A and B are shown apart, each in its own frame.
Chain A
Amino acid sequence: MAATASEGPFSRALPWLVPLALVILWQVSSSLGWLPPNILPAPTAVLEAAWTKLQDGSLIDNLGVSFARAMSGLIIGGAIGFSLGLLNGLSKTGEMLLDPTLQMIRNIPHLALIPLVIIWFGIGESARLFLVALGVFFPIYLNTLHGVRNVDPQLIEMGRIYGMNNRTLFLKVILPGALPSIFVGLRFALGVMWLTLIVAETIAANSGIGHMAMAAREFMQTDIVVLSIVIYAILGKLADSATRALERKFLAWNPAYAKV
């Protein structure tokens, strides 16, 4: 019965069954020697690597560096995308002036700019920030613009009839109306953010998780390479959960987001 499947401890454990089975299968294959460690190390070896890296402090350092890069890029690119999205959503002139250009640039994969970015910024911190900011800019810009544009015009007329000034109209009607769409943009942007950071750190960096993985590759330390991949997965999942929590808080009025 559907009703019994959605309740109780069994249903809460259900999503974990397949990942757990995979890890067990992986461990058994490694222990029996079917998987040579230079192809894929055992889960226990990855855990051991994590423990060593934790103890010498390098894991926390690299994690901190990567996290700071991701967040700075997100804040810079996200703030510009959000502002331009609002501007072009609210002003017809702004949209006619800027939107066609932005739509054109949007079609260039931002990672294709890497050679140019290295020439402009060298391989320093600014190159990586630029790439992450550029990557997160477009999803946030497009979804903010779309959200503002799609606020129910009947609600805007209602606000005007009740004497709302532009500021109140924006804060009480337009911004809350655009918020679901802005959150969609944020979740897209988080995906792009990690992807860009991995690529940027793998190509040119002397710190961060991506650098840790590339340095380990040179010494065939597959356990540390796998550890880096697992860390990226965890970071991505955490970012997604944080967004979901924000959605639940700010979109509680929307039946589609309440208690999902």
Chain B
Amino acid sequence: MSSQPTGGSRVSLKDVKKAFGNNVVLQGIDLEIPAGQFVSIVGKSGCGKSTLLRLMIGLDSVTSGVLDAPALKAQAARIVFQEPRLLPWASVKDNVAVGLGEGQSGQAADKQAADILEEVGLKGREGLWPSQLSGGMRQRVALARALVSQPTLLALDEPLGALDALTRIDMQALLEGVWQDLGFTALMVTHDVGEAVALGDRVILIDHGHVVLDLAVDLPRPRKRGTPEFAALEGQILDKLFGDDPRAREAH
């Protein structure tokens, strides 16, 4: 691949609390995330996992406690949302250029955009409108836009949640490959436990504003979903999520 590794940066949270008015969303969060780690964050709807993500990349500020993330000071943190949020009136190339920020143009910028488009497998589609792309390809453009400025910290807020099952599998492989090539720290919120285990070096489970499980995933990549080790880890997370209610597990 033509993009150079950018490296990652660490994130550390000490006794972090986040409240909106009287509503405490997160409390007593202690996390050390080393540079370059892929962290999956799972939890039920409304558990505070998206708020945690927004805190860690500076979209919200902590109510109390200490958040230390060098990427924020260096403005090297980026986010990919569930919806691609592309400008429909801008070509693929121009959408990616949005990620370069103000006043970045010329040959160097063009080269950066071209490199990252190749990295996400969109070479040759620079001139297309977003409406001419499939859902998976649009999300690739959003990923390229986030990565073109070479961030050291990338947040992914259910990035594959809006895609069909087959495209998801495709995109998981792409995401893993790009992360391995570039080496940024990845923080991914997902509601899919299988996806969390397949991609994360570590899976963090949030429940009612607390970290209730912090699990290292020590399986060789690329991971095979059918293996007993994989299933055991998935089971461990689901147990913690739903307790012993077999019907809830079945539904998941």
A residues with a Cβ closer than 8 A to B are 154-155, 157-159, 161-165, 168, 172-173, 176-177, 179, 251-255
Contacts and interface: CB of A to CB of B under 8 A. Distances in A.
Contact of B90 (A164, A168, A172, A179): A172
Given A155-B85, A253-B129, A255-B131, A172 B79 contact: no
A158 B78 CA distance: 11
B66 interface: no
A154 B83 contact: yes
B99 interface: yes
The 8 lowest CB-CB distance pairs between A and B, nearest first, are A176-B89, A158-B85, A253-B89, A253-B129, A163-B101, A255-B131, A154-B85, A162-B98
B88 A162 contact: no
B87 A176 contact: yes
Interface centre among A154, A163, A252 (most CB of B within 10 A): A163
A157 B83 CA distance: 12
Contacts of A252: 129
Nearest to B145: A162
B32 interface: no
B102 A254 contact: no
A179 B90 CA distance: 13
A173 B131 CA distance: 16
A13 B95 CA distance: 42
A179 B75 CA distance: 32
B59 A161 contact: yes
B85 A253 contact: no
A253 B98 CA distance: 17
A172 B87 contact: yes
Contacts of B99: 162
A162 B129 contact: no
Nearest to B85: A158
B55 to A, nearest CB: 15
Contacts of B98: 158-159, 162, 164, 172
Contacts of A157: 85
A163 to B, nearest CB: 5
A181 to B, nearest CB: 13
A162 B101 contact: yes
A254 B131 CA distance: 7
Given A162-B101, A163-B102, A172-B98, A253 B79 contact: no
A163 B99 CA distance: 9
Contacts of B75: 163
Contacts of B87: 155, 172-173, 176
Interface string B33-66: 0000000000000000000000000010000000
B206 to A, nearest CB: 23
A248 to B, nearest CB: 14
Nearest to A176: B89
Contacts of A176: 87, 89-90
Interface string B69-88: 00000010001010101011
Contacts of A165: 102
A180 to B, nearest CB: 10
Contacts of B83: 154
Contacts of B130: 253
Contacts of B101: 162-163
A186 B130 CA distance: 26
Contacts of A159: 98
Given A154-B83, A164-B102, 18 more contacts: A158-B81, A158-B85, A159-B98, A161-B59, A162-B101, A162-B145, A164-B98, A165-B102, A172-B98, A173-B87, A176-B90, A177-B89, A251-B89, A252-B129, A253-B90, A253-B129, A253-B130, A254-B131
B87 to A, nearest CB: 7
B164 to A, nearest CB: 21
Contacts of B59: 161
A168 B97 CA distance: 13
A161 B89 contact: no
B129 to A, nearest CB: 4
A69 to B, nearest CB: 34
A254 B88 contact: yes
